[in-house]
A and B are shown apart, each in its own frame.
Chain A
């Protein structure tokens, strides 16, 4: 298989990581060598195998419906890169 520059551009867009031409070429090269090695999986027949998502062989534990987290606005906002007392702030979005 071969991952071309168009694919790199597409996945970089999905990943929200900007890539210029040079970076895209390097990524294509790296990803191709990694996927060459990953393709080994195609040797295996897996039609009747159940996929394994988690090795934890239990199911979800349920918590009771109680409010424990109080108003943490100061803590939550504290690390935010744009200063504002009440909100997180991002560049204007036009829908």
Chain B
């Protein structure tokens, strides 16, 4: 871990405060059916159409666990370099709420399925390791809708019972930027593993944020507040900033901080106390007597290990070593599984250096402009590969390639065909070029004389003219060579 030169500190009067952040990330497990019932998990279904009798807690209904969700949790644990617990226990967390049909949530309290692990963050000043405390499986609750009726709250249980992984970090994060990097890295790992789609808009990834502050240099933790259920990185960062400043103000004012649950109001951009929910919080955890301990064998875990794909950290290392990419380039290319897959498909048949530049440069800029994900790219990896080969073998110049690329962005067309149809092929025939150059020199006799008398700067002018006359198709290298001779 390198010493961070741009520490995130809050200054008040003569005091400097450090912010201590821990995250409880709730990641929806990618699965067809729910954790303890056989109803579907699809996002966006009509209200209450994906609710089984188990999900709605009908009398006598019993939970039966989904094997795939167990596997997904273990895979995620492996991805977090964490200890997999061969025996884990499901507990009931008891509380009443309209969208919690059983009156309890089945979760894991004392014996989670995954123990301690770690995540490596690439920060501008070097790498930072964030400890993972644990990962456990639990049920999601339903959704309360407060704005459909003036007097009533409506409840949709479609989400009730969907499997979640709660990933608890150690209080190792120190700034909103680190939180950003942490969430992105976690999301990236889970997307590589296929265990969570990481879609924050659809609520597949949400977090409770624990924030406390302490004077710089202090070893003791301050009193923390938990900001519940924040569903975007931007809101997390805003909430942390607001909350940390609020706590510092309280301390500077000689007041104490209450350990409490707070809510981030996205409209007012502030956190506020959820006292209404506080007073009766005693979850009375106890082992769910409808379920037995979950035990997995060494073979079960080993089989899952063999299914783990290369993860971003390992991939980055390989890209740097094998393809001689810079750490910066490698980081960008491995940050998302779709991007790294795209990159690896492009370089199957084309030059690595050119591919790297084109993807990070032109492609990202173009996608960004159209607000597209790489998975939605109009240009397939195969066609980008072809384009790069056309540059590499001199068929087209880099400049023409940009024109071709623009065409390709309008629809996935074979670059070869675009070049042929539009006659964009690079002119590399020395005779043809000589003729062109002769004509340019002829047309600009005065400038040629000036050049010969020592005004060498004019060389660029002639190159430009030749390219113009050739419609950009002239091979720039040859043009250079011939021009030098002729002038």
A34 within 8 A of partner (CB)? no
A1 contacts across to B, CB distance below 8 A = none
Residues of B within 8 A of A (CB): 31-33, 37-40, 46-54, 56, 64-70, 89, 96, 98, 144-146, 148-157, 263, 274, 276-277, 279-280, 282, 284, 287, 289, 291-295
Across the interface, B294 reaches (CB within 8 A) one of A13, A60, A72, A76, namely: A60
Roughly how many angstroms separate A95 CA and B144 CA in the complex, as a whole number? 11
B153 adjacent to A93 (CB under 8 Å): yes
A76 adjacent to B53 (CB under 8 Å): yes
A88 adjacent to B157 (CB under 8 Å): yes
- Closest A residue by C-beta to B90: A60
A6 within 8 A of partner (CB)? no
B64 adjacent to A63 (CB under 8 Å): yes
Residues of A within 8 A of B (CB): 13-14, 16, 53-54, 56, 58-69, 71-73, 75-77, 82, 84, 86-95
Roughly how many angstroms separate A66 CA and B49 CA in the complex, as a whole number? 16
A53 adjacent to B289 (CB under 8 Å): yes
A72 contacts across to B, CB distance below 8 A = 51-53
Roughly how many angstroms separate A69 CA and B130 CA in the complex, as a whole number? 40
In the assembled complex, 10 residue pairs joining A and B whose CB atoms fall closer than 8 Å, in A order, are A53-B293, A59-B294, A65-B67, A69-B54, A71-B50, A73-B49, A75-B53, A90-B98, A91-B153, A95-B277
Query: A14-B284, A71-B49 given as contacts; is B67 within 8 A of A87 (CB)?
Result: no
A88 adjacent to B64 (CB under 8 Å): no
B153 contacts across to A, CB distance below 8 A = 89-93
Q: A54-B289, A67-B32 are in contact. List 5 more A-B contacts (CB 8 A).
A: A14-B280, A62-B67, A68-B38, A71-B49, A89-B154
A71 contacts across to B, CB distance below 8 A = 49-50
B37 adjacent to A54 (CB under 8 Å): no
Across the interface, A65 reaches (CB within 8 A) one of B66, B96, B149, namely: B66
Question: How far does the Cβ of B435 sit from chain A's closest Cβ, in whole Å?
Answer: 70
B151 adjacent to A66 (CB under 8 Å): no
Q: Chain A at the B interface: mostly helix, strand, loop or mixed?
A: loop
A54 contacts across to B, CB distance below 8 A = 287, 289, 292
Question: How far does the Cβ of B160 sit from chain A's closest Cβ, in whole Å?
Answer: 10
B146 contacts across to A, CB distance below 8 A = 92-95
Query: A67-B40, A76-B56 given as contacts; is B295 within 8 A of A60 (CB)?
Result: yes
Across the interface, A59 reaches (CB within 8 A) one of B37, B46, B51, B292, namely: B292
Across the interface, A73 reaches (CB within 8 A) one of B38, B51, B155, B291, namely: B51
A86 contacts across to B, CB distance below 8 A = 46-48, 154, 156
A87 adjacent to B154 (CB under 8 Å): yes
Query: A16-B96, A62-B70, A73-B49 given as contacts; is B289 within 8 A of A87 (CB)?
Result: no
A76 contacts across to B, CB distance below 8 A = 48, 51, 53, 56, 157
A75 contacts across to B, CB distance below 8 A = 53
- Closest B residue by C-beta to A82: B152
- Closest B residue by C-beta to A16: B96
B38 adjacent to A69 (CB under 8 Å): yes
Across the interface, B33 reaches (CB within 8 A) one of A66, A87, A89, namely: A66
Query: A63-B64, A72-B53 given as contacts; is B154 within 8 A of A58 (CB)?
Result: no
A73 contacts across to B, CB distance below 8 A = 46-49, 51
B38 adjacent to A60 (CB under 8 Å): no
Question: How far does the Cβ of A86 sit from chain B's closest Cβ, in whole Å?
Answer: 5
Roughly how many angstroms separate A88 CA and B284 CA in the complex, as a whole number? 26
A13 contacts across to B, CB distance below 8 A = 279-280
Roughly how many angstroms separate A61 CA and B289 CA in the complex, as a whole number? 14
A93 contacts across to B, CB distance below 8 A = 98, 144, 146, 153
A84 adjacent to B154 (CB under 8 Å): yes
Question: How far does the Cβ of A76 sit from chain B's closest Cβ, in whole Å?
Answer: 5
B154 contacts across to A, CB distance below 8 A = 84, 86-89
B33 contacts across to A, CB distance below 8 A = 65-69
B295 contacts across to A, CB distance below 8 A = 59-60
A62 adjacent to B276 (CB under 8 Å): no
A87 adjacent to B145 (CB under 8 Å): yes
A67 contacts across to B, CB distance below 8 A = 32-33, 38-40
B293 contacts across to A, CB distance below 8 A = 53, 59-60
